[in-house]
Structure formats: structure tokens, C-alpha cells
Amino acid sequence: MTDLYARDGRVLSQLQKLRFFPLSITGGHGSYLVDEAGRKLLDLSASWGAASLGHSHPALIEAVTAALSNQAGASVLSATNENVVSLAERLLESVAGAEDRRVWFGHSGSDANETVARAVVAATGRPRIITFTGSYHGGTAGSIAVSGHSVQEHADKADGLISLHYPDPYRPVGDDATGEAVLDALQQRFAADAPPDEIAAIFIEPIQSDGGLVVPSPGFMKALCALCQQHGILVVSDEVKVGVGRTGRFSCHEHEDFVPDIVTMGKGLGGGLPLSAVIGPAEVMNFATSFSMQTLHGNPICAAAGHAVLDTIAHESLTKNAERTGNYLMSRLRQLMQTHELIGDVRGRGLAIGVELVKTRAGKEPAAQAAAKLVYRAFELGLVHYYVGMNSNVLEMTPPLNLSEAEVDEAVAILDTAINDVVANRVPDSALDGFEGW
């Protein structure tokens, strides 16, 4: 273990750690990180999708440096600034929706989703919210309260929270891969214990991210959202991890052919700087002043980073690259699947990809320990990625949007070796000591 990692253990709180292997970073460029030993590591995570332009992108450096050299304050709380206003204007142009909308800026997807969860209830007067089993909307009290992930079972949930099964074509509930049973169950709830006029909003993920990179059955989201909007239930599309060009569209919900009422963004919007956004109808977003504010919200430096991300996505055609390179990565992973029984499923859109590991294809029993050992061994071989899922058995790949096909080939070669080593029991159980993971 490196000196930096040991020092980390002596001074940093465990409360904020989600560790899989002893990664100590001293720098990075493009799709590569540099660790304390000077090794170059190919980064297929991009810090859970936050480093959307990769590391040390010149456009991000230039934008942030310029904003700092003539700093327009540090907040939008009691004064406005050009960077934050023009970024809001650009987001309203980029995301389809009602004519009269407003943008709220925060630090993370957690504070964005918490703000929405509070605002929709207050603005509509309806006290209840619909969510999904497996959903992860953040790590603050308010965002956890409307989430359904197993890792957050210890936390309090919103009063009257309604939880639906997320339609997983690989692991269908009741042998229904279409999601029709979920729609039927919701309508039964409407007629029984969950009258629609009590429900303010439904929180959806157009790809259920931390629940296992689950892509919903075709047509399900469109039908679900039409049903909810028919009853005046606001549709909130959480695109914190899968939005801003990652899936081959600017907004992930575009794949599903519906228009949500509210969209939340985070992670990649700031390119690695703390920046989130909510886009929604004015009657909700202007419900009250001083309702959801923190001093550094609307920071012009972070807003400048947001501009750099949007500029670079446009100038370097990164949405198209995410689609093209993502398709190539999925095809290479499916080739691996032909030779490795450990891989049960490969799924995703663009550069939001999940690889589900199972003990046997026929039984589909989650291979959680194999996932933990695989990401550890891949790290030793020079590749950074993590695992997610309700069963901790889905490899998550959310690399920089400018990932190249040559880097895909490098990553797949490392994965191939790592899988062979895990299957051959070359990674001891003791390697995982101290790394609790997800």
C-alpha cells in the first residue's frame, strides 16, 4: 500500500469512502490517471462519470482559469453573474420541455434531487412520491428518502413513498420483461391505497444506474410517464449519471420518446467540478424564495466549467463519439462474453455500460465476490472501474466521453486477463481486506 493511501486512512473519515482497491492518484491526462507509483491507469469510470471530458482537458483549464482571473463573486444567492445566467439559457435550449421553465443550480446530483423532492410536494400540495426499487437519487437525507437502493436500507424514507419494480429485461419480475405488470400494479395502487391526487411526482432513471445499469424494456418509460402525466403527476427524469451526452443523446430520456416535466443533472455537467442543475416548470421552480439555497450555489467558476463541457461536447462531437465508441465497447464486451461464462449480460447506451457477472448463465446467480476480485485485479493490471447493482455484481463503465477505440481495445485486453485470473483463483480473498466496496 502506498504512503499516500496509508496517510488517507489515518486522517480521512470513512463516512465518505467507497473503496474497491488502493488507488492513490497524483495526476491525469485524457482517459488516463497517474498513481503515486507513476503508473498510467486507463480510467473507465471517470470518477463515476464526473470527469466527462477526461482529465486536464485544455478547454476546462482555460475556462476555469479565465473565470478565476476576474472572479464574479462566488454565489448566485444574493447577486447574479454572467456565467450562471448564460449557462441556464443554454440548458433550457438543450433540453425539451414546457415553454415557461427555470433552472436551479447546485453542487451535486444529491442536492438537485433533494431540492426537487421537496419542491414538488410543496408546490403541488400533494404529499406523496413514486420511486423504484433499486433507484439511487443521492446521498443526502432528502434524496435518500426517495431512493430504493439496498445500500440505503438503513435510512428513513419519505412518508407514503410508493415503490415500483424497475423492469429489468435480464431479471424480469414474474417473467414479465415488458413492464406491463408494473403499469398494471401502479393502476391498481391508484384505485386502492395511492390515489393519484395524493402523488406529486414520480422519480425515474431512464437507465437505472447504481441499481445495475439496467436499460428498461422498450416503450415502458413512455407508457409510464403518459399514465402519470394523465393524472397530473410530475415526471422527474434523474439524468445525473446518464445525461449530458453520455448515452449518445444530450438527454438520456430522448431514447424513450417522451418529455419529462423536470430533469436533474450533475456529475459530468461540471467536467469534474461540483455542479448540478434542475430544469423544471416555473410554477415549481419559482414556488418560493430561499427554499433551497447554499452559499456556493451558482458559483461562476463551476458555471464556467459547465460552459466548457457544453462547448467541448459540441466542438468535438462527443455525443456522437459516445454513441460510436460505446457501441464498439459493447461489441468487444460481447465478444468477451462468448469465451467467459462469468459474463451473464452486457447492456447500456453509449458510454453508460453495465456488465453483469453470474456464477452460471443458466442460474443467473449474482457473482458478487468475482466482481470485487475482478475490479481489484483489473486495477493491478492498469484499469480503473468499479461495480454497482443491488447484488454488487455489475461492472460499471462510464468513461470520459472522448474515449477512443484504441483505448477500448486496451481496456478489453486487460479485462480478459483479469477475468482469466479471477476464474483461475489467482486473486486471493485476502486481497479484498479493507475494501468493502458497494
Residues with a known catalytic role: 136
| Letter string b/e over residues 44-83, b meaning 16 or more CB atoms within 10 A of that residue's CB | bbbbbbbbbbbbebebbeebbeebeeeebebbbeeeebeb
* C-alpha cell read off for 146: 426517495
Within 192-292, residue ranges assigned H as helices are 220-230, 282-285
From the list 408, 219, 411, the residue with the least C-alpha distance to 327 is: 408
Asked whether 388 and 347 are in contact (CB, 8 A), the reply is no
Rounded Cα distance, 278 and 297, in Å: 12
- Helical axes 318-339 vs 300-315, angle rounded to 10°: 70
Q: What angle do CA 321, 323, 324 make, to 5 degrees?
A: 65
> Phi and psi at residue 157, in whole multiples of 5°?
-105, 160
- Helical axes 180-191 vs 220-230, angle rounded to 10°: 20
Residue 296: its H or E element? none
Rounded Cα distance, 57 and 41, in Å: 17
From the list 71, 75, 127, the residue with the least C-alpha distance to 293 is: 75
Rounded Cα distance, 74 and 55, in Å: 24
The amino acid at residue 370 is A
From the list 335, 325, 340, the residue with the least C-alpha distance to 397 is: 325
Within 19-133, residue ranges assigned H as helices are 46-49, 58-69, 82-94, 109-124
The amino acid at residue 208 is Q
With a CB cutoff of 8 Å and minimum separation 6, the contacts of 138 are 108, 109, 110, 111, 112, 113, 114, 144, 147, 240
